A and B are shown apart, each in its own frame.
Chain A
């Protein structure tokens, strides 16, 4: 094994050093810390002590040679067996700089000389709706095409319905909320590659736990302990273990969110609203129960603030309360998935080759197949299943990493 001797950097701005005098000859023995060579830099003349004991095998640069900092100037071979010295030549990993965001250049946006310029929004809308911009009349400054010009252009033809049929039809005007829901639903189906996977979950352990605690919790904390907080907690944990399910698709890459904000769908008459539990993974069962109930109440009282419905990373929808067993929920864009909870009913199941009655529920996960594949999604959902089925039996130890600095961090 041989050890390299390098030209050291004696001072931040120093870039090179000059060999003044070798104090040891090639082939001679050296001991650790014995002065090997005299060097000179802009700032200081000094001696370099030998990093190891051994024989000075090779001198690579001679007297009066100037070499850059970090260059190898000699090699020492160690004679003692058992002392394995690894090459200590400075391993400086040059950071890989990411190429800057590529500006989206589509063929349609290449401008020839003399052609009209279009704003980014106008180009995008034209792409999306398949409008030939040359056919649109612009009313902006200098004949510019504006967003409004495109809306005017794309108004669909109104078909007149024969009278008898129209007498048997009723038109319910679209509220803004309904329009937004419709737009979002269609956008979601059109963009995400929806696939739904279902697992059957035995809720008996949770039911027992809940039965034991719910009165104490209601009395002591003023909180109604339903099945939902358990499911939210299990979901938050599973999202932490499967970060791909807590992400969004973007053309620049899959954006994995390092925070877990779970939206809980609440049905309000003709509208669907999704208030968000922020940082759900940092809350305990009671806190989740309290927060989800408070948000649901605020939703019913129409007291939700903008921040209450923004910034979710995943959604849970509980259609089981209206009796549905299975569902194929629509992902709320731009999430990677949505978890649907079916009705929790007693069912006969087979355990150890015998029939038992257990409280069962079907949990359905619709996921965006662009972001994740089935195996990954199933791993996530089966993670939730494991946590729910094993409630109260396992205790988790949070690993503590040894970092070497004491106190606050």
Chain B
């Protein structure tokens, strides 16, 4: 075991996968010589050369298409959107080509699109968005979002080895702030499986990525008030781990879904619908969703703080739910 930051865990996963499979290669802007805008790919260019760590022109759509072509030939490209916000430039290639290739004509397309997402870094509208909601409705894609270094490394390896297009959302706020124990030997975290990160009996908080840490903070506060919160870290957003979600909800009967995208049209709606449709009889209170405000991400600190979900939002909702 080694204590590793969230960022280093991602770097190590890339390094290890490239070392043991020569078909794995990287493409993105500034990832090669510069080492990446966040330094995630530092050192890889020197180690693997310019044709395995490719500095692309400013062409998200173009190099996503190129990744698809290389993947169809059996390679395993891992491409990077410098900020997840720029994934909208590649939206067409992702949903039109990558997502549907296997279904329509048996064209396996094993690409991984890494996208640093999330706010709280004074980034404003185009450096802080969480775009996963735009892709949830596209069958053929897989979407993952780790919350800690162990999952970050394991899920990235699993995504690279997976034969389907995977959108891998890494949270930029967690890069250097979160450290954790990571095994030195090879391991993967399965796609499609959630994880209970904190056991509890009174309410369930279903969440992912940076919001897991917000939930943990809230759970600590609630513990002091005698409220026991169970936290389920989804880890994979598409396809959802219904079993994992349901088994926790059946236990507590009260649910909060916590996510960082704007509330409307986010994953909370889908999960809430699944719960009420499939396990209605286990609910002892309405299903509550806490998302970011329905606005673009504002810049000025008091406004961004207002925009993002916080621990006190979770605590307030939990108190009401428990008393309901």
Query: What are 6 sample pairs from A and B whose C-beta atoms fall under 8 A apart?
Result: A123-B281, A124-B282, A306-B195, A307-B190, A408-B106, A408-B108
Q: Which residues of A contact B277 (CB under 8 A)?
A: 101
Total contacting residues, chain A, CB less than 8 A: 21
A141/B324 contact (C-beta < 8 A), A119-B283, A121-B253 known = yes
User: A-B pairs with the 9 shortest C-beta distances?
Assistant: A409-B106, A121-B284, A124-B281, A120-B281, A119-B284, A408-B106, A120-B280, A147-B284, A121-B253
| Contact string against A for B residues 284-298, beta-carbon threshold 8 Å, 1 for contact and 0 otherwise | 110000000000000
User: Counting CB contacts under 8 A, is A311 at the interface?
Assistant: yes
Say whether B70 faces chain A, with CB atoms less than 8 Å apart.
no
Please give the residue numbers on chain B whose beta carbons come within 8 Å of chain A beta carbons, in ascending order: 105-108, 190, 193, 195-196, 243, 247, 253, 277, 280-285, 323-324
> A121-B284, A140-B324, A307-B190 are known contacts; what are 18 more A-B pairs with Cβ within 8 Å?
A104-B280, A120-B281, A120-B282, A120-B283, A121-B282, A121-B283, A122-B284, A124-B281, A124-B282, A141-B323, A146-B284, A146-B324, A147-B284, A306-B196, A307-B193, A310-B243, A311-B243, A408-B106
Whole-angstrom CA separation of A306 from B194 in the bound complex: 10
B106: A residues at CB distance < 8 A = 405, 407-409
Chain A residues within 8 Å of B280, by CB: 104, 120
The distance in angstroms between the C-alpha atoms of A407 and B323, with both chains bound, is 60
In angstroms, Cα B251 to Cα A298, docked, is 26
Q: Is A144 located at the chain interface by the 8 A CB criterion?
A: yes
Complex Cα distance A141/B321, Å?
A: 10
List residues of chain B with CB within 8 A of the CB of A124: 281-282
Interface residues of A, Cβ cutoff 8 Å to B: 101, 104, 119-124, 140-141, 144, 146-147, 306-307, 310-311, 405, 407-409
In-complex Cβ contact of B324 among A104, A144, A408 (8 A): A144
A152 to B195, CA, bound (A): 32
A209 to B312, CA, bound (A): 65
Residues from chain A with Cβ under 8 Å of B281 in the complex: 104, 120-121, 123-124
Shortest CB distance B206–A (Å): 15
A137 to B307, CA, bound (A): 40
Residues of A within 8 A of B323 (CB): 140-141
- Complex CA gap A141/B106 in Å reads 56
Give the distance in Å from the alpha carbon of A119 to the alpha carbon of B287 in the complex: 12
How far apart sit A49 and B146, CA to CA, in the bound complex (Å)? 62
Are B253 and A147 in contact, CB atoms less than 8 angstroms apart? Answer: yes
A15 CB to closest chain B CB (Å) equals 28
Residues of B within 8 A of A140 (CB): 323-324
Nearest Cβ on chain B to A241's Cβ, whole angstroms: 26
> In the docked arrangement, what's the CA distance between A311 and B195, Å?
14
Minimum CB–CB distance for A143 against chain B, Å: 12
Closest to A307 in B: B193
CA of A108 to CA of B59, assembled, Å: 62
Residues of A contacting B285 in the complex (Cβ-Cβ under 8 angstroms): 119
Q: Hey, which chain B residues are within 8 Å of A311, CB to CB? A: 243
Question: Residues of B contacting A123 with CB < 8 Å?
Answer: 281
Q: Name the CB-closest residue of B to A306.
A: B196
In the complex, what's the smallest C-beta–C-beta distance from A334 to chain B, in angstroms?
12
Write out the residue numbers on chain A whose beta carbons fall within 8 Å of the beta carbon of B105. Answer: 405
Which chain A residue lies CB-closest to B106?
Answer: A409
A121–B107 alpha-carbon span in the complex (Å): 47
What distance in Å separates the Cβ of A202 from its nearest Cβ neighbour in chain B? 39
Q: Which residues from chain A contact B282 at a C-beta distance below 8 Å?
A: 120-121, 124
Residues from chain A with a CB closer than 8 A to the CB of B193 are 307
**Measured between alpha carbons, how far is A56 from B33 in the docked complex, in Å?**
77
Complex CA–CA separation, A147 to B252 (angstroms): 10
Interface centre among A119, A124, A140, A141 (most CB of B within 10 A): A119
A101: chain B residues within 8 A (beta carbon): 277
Instruction: With CB as the reference atom, state the residue of chain B lying closest to A305.
Output: B195
A119 to B277, CA, bound (A): 15
A310–B283 alpha-carbon span in the complex (Å): 22
In whole angstroms, what is the CA distance A119 to B247 when docked?
A: 19
Chain A residues with Cβ below 8 Å from B324 are 140-141, 144, 146
B residues in contact with A104, CB < 8 Å: 280-281
Complex Cα–Cα for A311 and B285 (A): 27
Residue of A nearest to B276 (CB): A120
For residue A307, which residues in chain B have a CB less than 8 angstroms away from its CB?
Answer: 190, 193
Could you tell me the distance between the alpha carbons of A305 and B247 in the complex, rounded to whole angstroms?
A: 15
Q: In the docked arrangement, what's the CA distance between A115 and B155, Å?
A: 51
A141 CA to B323 CA, complexed, in Å: 6
Task: Report Cα–Cα, A146/B282, bound state, in Å.
Answer: 12
Q: Which of B105, B195, B243, B285 has the most chain A CB within a 10 Å cutoff?
A: B285
Contacts of A121 in B (CB 8 A): 253, 281-284
Set of chain B residues within 8 Å of A405, measured between Cβ atoms: 105-106
Q: Which of B283, B284, B285 has the most CB of A within 10 A?
A: B284
B50 nearest CB across to chain A (Å): 30
Complex interface: chain A residues within 8 A of B253 (CB): 121, 147
Q: In the assembly, what is the distance between CA of A201 and CA of B294, in Å?
A: 66
Residues of B within 8 A of A147 (CB): 253, 284
Contacts of B247 in A (CB 8 A): 310
CB distance from B254 to the nearest CB of A (A): 9
Which B residue's beta carbon lies closest to that of A140? B324
CA distance A408 to B196 in the complex (A): 37
Determine the chain B residues whose CB is within 8 A of the CB of A141 once the complex forms: 323-324
B275 to chain A, nearest CB (A): 11
**Smallest distance from the beta carbon of B154 to chain A beta carbons, Å?**
12
- Cross-chain contact A408 with B107 (CB below 8 angstroms): yes
